[in-house]
Structure 1
Amino acid sequence: MFSTRPVGRGASARKYDLLTALGTYALSQSKHDQRRALRLMTLITARYNWARDELAVGQREIAQLWSVDERTVKREMAMFRAKGWLVVKRQGARGRVTQYGLGIDTLLEDTSTTWGCVGPDFELRMGQGTAEPDVVPLPVRGVVAPPDVSSGAEWSLAQALLHAEDPGTYASWIAALTRAERAGGRLTLRAPSRFHAAYVQTHLAGRLLTACQDVDSEVSELRIVT
């Protein structure tokens, strides 16, 4: 999936991909939501520091950029925070403006329904990427129980292997996946949300397929659906 910090090699393309995703999503919405997204896109394009993941602009300057009054700026910025599209990194104080970061994960989740409108290549690039970066598991409290393997199903056995290898990642991303169907060598798993499915497909698909093949050599393909 799209890097949470679009910097480094290929960064320019990833920045345009994010703006494309946001713009395409906006065009599928009402005129009010379209205008709101256009305001954010303009602000990102004009003032966002991608290298530092930072947006630090005063309300007066934003009002001028958007051709609105400062009251409108205050309302719209609050809306972006509420949606999770902007995240406060440092609260403003006397003589210092609020510093924001982009909520890229939320932006991707909210716009994923319209990626296909751009084209299958864009959807593949945004949803799968080209490599499996390191996965940082979410914090896990207490002991993570191993899966029930009494059914003998290939997915239950594979889950047991994955749990033994990395209980944290298992609890965060793998435990919620359920077996949907098996058709020949293709095993289909169901995720609780589109974002969850896209994340697993991007970061864990290879690891999951290997575990499945370790317990059932006839598994040749793994699909993640919602």
Structure 2
Amino acid sequence: MQLAKPVGRNAAALKYDILSALTIYALSGDKHRQRSILRIIALITTRYNWRNNELSIGREEISRLWAVNERTVKREMANFRVLGWVTVKRPAARGRVAVYEIDLKQIMIDTQEVWPIIGPDFQTRMSEDSEPVTNVVPFATKPVGPEVAAEDVWSQVQSILHGRDPELWASWFRHLSEAERAGGSVTLVAPSRFMADYIAQKWTARLLAAYSRVDPSIRTVRIEAAD
């Protein structure tokens, strides 16, 4: 699976595909996901330089675009960094705003679940391998899994999750840490409220199933935010 760089003759079509995937991914989630995805779409459509993969914008300007305060901007951008969608290319300095990069490849990996909703032609187009050319960036192959310790329950659970879906593990589960395990209950901690709520809504059952294979006494899994 490959993703061509959105420049050149087919750039417009690929940009529409990426924005379509983000839009349907947002609509398939709850109001928190919808608001979060709408915010990154706003940044992409108003300030993102596709050719250079640069988003040059300050926190104050983002707050105006999103109609929120700068504290909300700081929290949301941190969520995007945790997801791997946004990275800081050049930090802000006196008289100069920060420059970010957007990982379009990671965004497409994370939105694969909604590709069939958009249509079979979209799914085929995004899944097929392209001819190797210089401006093609290959999707990541199977992510390297966690180190497994024989007596460490959490590392064994992580290994099970990685084995079932390496890309899902790399995007979400690897960011979790085990805070407590007692009395048949486990508490996991996510780096942000957004991630904690999203994983709790989507994948609590998968986490519990993985735990049950290692420790059948586990009956409930809770996910809390670190912040």
* TM-score scaled by length of structure 2: 0.58
Tell me the equivalent position of 2:78.
Answer: 78
How many residues of Structure 1 are paired with residues of Structure 2 in the alignment? Answer: 148
Query: Aligned pair in 2 of structure 1 residues 32, 86: CA closer, same or farther (>3 Å)?
Result: same
Are the counterparts in 2 of residues 54 and 99 from structure 1 also a CA contact under 8 Å? yes
Tell me the equivalent position of 1:112.
Answer: 112
3-state SS of paired residue (2:100): strand
Q: Percent identity?
A: 47
Which of the two has higher C-alpha Rg? 1
3-state SS of paired residue (2:49): coil
Q: 1:15-164 residue pairs with structure 2 within 5 A?
A: 15-133=15-133
Q: Please say if 1:14 is aligned against 2:17.
A: no
Q: Which runs of 5+ in 1 are unaligned?
A: 139-171, 177-189, 196-226
Query: Aligned pair in 2 of structure 1 residues 123, 136: CA closer, same or farther (>3 Å)?
Result: closer
Q: Distance in 1 between matches of 2:98 and 2:106?
A: 20
Q: Distance in 2 between matches of 1:136 and 1:126?
A: 13
Report how far residue 93 of structure 1 moved. Answer: 1.6
Report how far residue 94 of structure 1 moved. Answer: 1.8
Alignment-mate amino acid for residue 80 of structure 1: F
Q: Distance in 1 between matches of 2:129 and 2:107?
A: 17
Alignment-mate amino acid for residue 121 of structure 1: D
Query: Aligned pair in 2 of structure 1 residues 83, 31: CA closer, same or farther (>3 Å)?
Result: same
Q: Distance in 2 between matches of 1:46 and 1:136?
A: 25
Report how far residue 106 of structure 1 moved. Answer: 1.2
Report how far residue 194 of structure 1 moved. Answer: 5.9
3-state SS of paired residue (1:3): strand
Cα RMSD for the two superposed structures = 3.0
Are the counterparts in 2 of residues 21 and 114 from structure 1 also a CA contact under 8 Å? yes
Q: Distance in 2 between matches of 1:102 and 1:92?
A: 17
3-state SS of paired residue (1:78): helix
Are the counterparts in 2 of residues 58 and 97 from structure 1 also a CA contact under 8 Å? yes
Are the counterparts in 1 of residues 2 and 137 from structure 2 also a CA contact under 8 Å? no
Alignment-mate amino acid for residue 55 of structure 2: L
Report how far residue 131 of structure 1 moved. Answer: 2.6
Q: Distance in 1 between matches of 2:83 and 2:108?
A: 12
3-state SS of paired residue (1:26): helix
Query: Aligned pair in 2 of structure 1 residues 29, 173: CA closer, same or farther (>3 Å)?
Result: closer
3-state SS of paired residue (1:29): coil
Deviations 1:166-189 (A, max 9, x none): xxxxxx959x9xxxxxxxxxxxxx
